[in-house]
């Protein structure tokens, strides 16, 4: 997925590079041949779109102090949140981040309404794929995807698209206000995930839990300590 084939202008491309792109064999892209990414996209289909994602958008800022993710309409059937990572991360770390968000903010969303990028379409597929670039002409619908401001998100919950191309400088302006999630911030979110999971296991087990359950929790705590020591996202030169 190379930006050379997109409608993105030079100023918008600069913001894309700052926030979302990794270096690949054929140029900057959303996901490279090693499966490394900086953009993590959470997508919920209408009519739940912003009703669900607003909890994520506000929650990550108030609960963890994370930078606000970009908000986008898909041009088809969904609202998206685009999270920017300061450094390249692998698919395993991306999956853990998504799991943290789902457990905390999206527990009631049906799998059919939720899409997470990068994603693997099937176990037999050798690598993940990413979402489409925004903004773009969605030829299948005749509509456009676009980044939007938070105060406008609710009005797109029924029709998550633009009928005309967005102003590219305004798209760049929206992205220019955003910041990336730093490694220590990412570690905090992932640690909260592990803590929540352990509490749920312990509460479910109760006083009559067998030794196998107790050992499972102990092993998970040991893995958590190991991960917290070595969680630094992958750096690429």
The CATH number given to whatever domain includes residue 159 is 3.90.920
Q: Which two tokens stand for residue 189?
A: 């979110």
Longest dimension (CA), the chain: 63
What DSSP string runs through 135-182?
SEEETTTTEEEEEE-GGGGGGGSSS-SBSSPPPHHHHHHHHHT--PBP
224 three-state secondary structure: helix
237 lies in some domain: no
**Whole-number Å distance between alpha carbons of 220 and 31:** 30
Over range 183-188, report the average pLDDT: 95
Print the domain residue range for 190. 184-230
My answer on whether 149 and 205 are in the same domain is no
Is there a single domain that holds both residue 53 and residue 16? yes
pLDDT over 70 for what percent of the chain? 76
Same domain (yes/no): 113, 199:
no
Same domain, 104 and 133: yes
Predicted model pTM = 0.80
Judgement on whether residues 163 and 120 belong to the same structural domain of the protein: yes
139 plus 201 within the same structural domain:
no
Q: Compute the average pLDDT of residues 132-158.
A: 95
Q: Does 191 lie in the same domain as 174? A: no
Domain-embedded: residue 165:
yes
In 10 A of CB 158, how many CB atoms? 9
State how far Cα 171 lies from the chain centre.
Answer: 19
* The pLDDT value given to residue 194: 73
Q: How many domains does the chain have?
A: 2
Residue 32 pLDDT grade (very low, low, confident, very high; cuts 50, 70, 90)? very high
User: Where does residue 120 fall: left (phi above 0), alpha (psi -120 to 50 degrees), or beta otherwise?
Assistant: beta
């Amino acid at each position: 997925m190379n930006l050379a084939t997109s409608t993105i202008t030079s100023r918008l491309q600069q913001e894309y590079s700052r926030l979302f792109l990794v270096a690949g064999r054929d140029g900057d892209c959303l996901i490279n041949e090693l499966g490394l990414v900086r953009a993590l996209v959470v997508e919920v289909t209408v009519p739940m779109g912003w009703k669900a994602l607003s909890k994520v958008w506000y929650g990550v800022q108030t609960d963890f102090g994370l930078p606000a993710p970009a908000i986008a309409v898909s041009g088809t059937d969904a609202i998206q949140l685009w999270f920017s990572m300061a450094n390249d991360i692998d698919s395993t770390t991306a999956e853990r981040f998504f799991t943290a968000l789902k457990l905390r903010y999206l527990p009631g969303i049906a799998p059919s309404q939720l899409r997470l990028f990068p994603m693997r379409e099937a176990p037999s597929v050798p690598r993940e794929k990413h979402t489409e670039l925004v903004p773009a002409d969605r030829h299948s619908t005749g509509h456009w995807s676009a980044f939007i401001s938070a105060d406008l998100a609710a009005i797109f919950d029924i029709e998550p698209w633009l009928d005309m191309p967005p102003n590219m400088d305004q798209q760049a302006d929206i992205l220019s206000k955003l910041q990336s999630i730093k490694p220590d911030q990412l570690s905090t979110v992932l640690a909260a995930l592990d803590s929540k999971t352990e509490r749920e296991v312990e509460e479910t087990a109760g006083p009559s839990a067998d030794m196998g359950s107790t050992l499972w929790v102990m092993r998970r705590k040991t893995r958590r300590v190991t991960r917290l020591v070595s969680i630094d996202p992958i750096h690429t030169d």
